[in-house]
Chain A
Amino acid sequence: MLHTVNKSPFEKNSLHSCLRLSKPGANILLLEDGVYGALKGSDISEDIEASLADRGVYVLGPDLKARGIHDDRLIDGVQVVDYAGFVKLAVDAPRVQSWL
């Protein structure tokens, strides 16, 4: 299953709901303002680090670039994909849940 989160975790609880209600083995893609959730050393990065134990966490590169965030600022284990990678994640998952 692929979950997409497009909200900043510092403003909305979408990411936390997604982490709480997704299952081991799921993939989570952060896009739009959701990409801020992938920043290393923030108040919420421990939650992402914990979820990486049994879930894949991806972040949309074009949205990182737009926000001036370079790859070296991301939590270790978070993988950067482009829009083609987003499509592939959606193809590979049986369902896609958007946490709007």
Chain B
Amino acid sequence: MVTEDTNHEGGQVKKFLYLNRRAPHGTNYAQEGLEVALIGAAFDQDVAMAYTDDGVFQLKKDQDTSDIGTKNFSATYGALGDYDVTRVYVELESLARRGLTKEDLMPLVYEDEDDDWEEKPLIRFVSEAELRDIIEEHE
């Protein structure tokens, strides 16, 4: 996670990029990582999420933990847009290596306040090279 100072309505706002590299459910790092990102957004910080490596599995649709008895937090990703986290990047190469396609992921959306609250897809698919630039931008 890297940050940058900017100014926003008098308060201090930093740019946070959360780099998610772990699969959900086998460990709960994904769940608690999502919680810290949402809390940061609730504090009006500028939050972006990037999913690479096994992190892309976090956004797989149709997750249902009822048969393993753990908490199903995958619905919480739907709250990202509500918390104004509108930059959610998924690396295409990581999907392909895992036999997944764009259509395998949850159809997350956000309402664009600059465009009459039109509902728009939240996930931005990026290449490895693009993700490298995104990580660099947050320096």
A and B touch in the complex (CB under 8 A): yes
- Which chain B positions have C-beta within 8 A of A49? none
Can you list, as one digit per residue, whether each of B51-74 has a CB less than 8 Å from chain A (1) or not (0)?
001100100111111111010101
Size bin of chain A's contact surface: 20 to 34
Are the CB atoms of A33 and B68 closer together than 8 Å?
no
- Nearest opposing residue in chain B for A41, CB measure: B99
Q: How far, in Å, is B35 (CB) from chain A's closest CB?
A: 19
Are the CB atoms of A32 and B25 closer together than 8 Å?
yes
The residue that A61 contacts in the complex, of B23, B53, B67, B100, with Cβ under 8 A, is B67
Name the prevailing secondary structure of the B interface residues: loop
Are the CB atoms of B99 and A8 closer together than 8 Å?
no
Q: Interface size of B by Cβ–Cβ distance < 8 Å?
A: 26
Are the CB atoms of B97 and A70 closer together than 8 Å?
no
Report if A11-B54 is in contact (Cβ < 8 Å); known contacts: A33-B23, A66-B25. Answer: yes
Report if A68-B60 is in contact (Cβ < 8 Å); known contacts: A11-B54, A36-B23, A61-B67. Answer: yes
B24 within 8 A of partner (CB): yes
A42 within 8 A of partner (CB): yes
- Nearest opposing residue in chain B for A69, CB measure: B60
A65 within 8 A of partner (CB): yes
Are the CB atoms of B98 and A33 closer together than 8 Å?
no
Chain A residues 50-100 with CB under 8 Å of chain B are 61-63, 65-70, 73, 82
B residues whose Cβ falls under 8 Å from a Cβ of A: 22-27, 53-54, 57, 60-68, 70, 72, 74, 97-100, 104
In the assembled complex, 20 residue pairs joining A and B whose CB atoms fall closer than 8 Å, in A order, are A10-B97, A11-B22, A11-B23, A32-B26, A36-B57, A36-B98, A39-B100, A41-B99, A61-B67, A62-B68, A65-B64, A66-B65, A66-B68, A66-B72, A67-B23, A67-B24, A67-B63, A68-B61, A68-B74, A73-B99
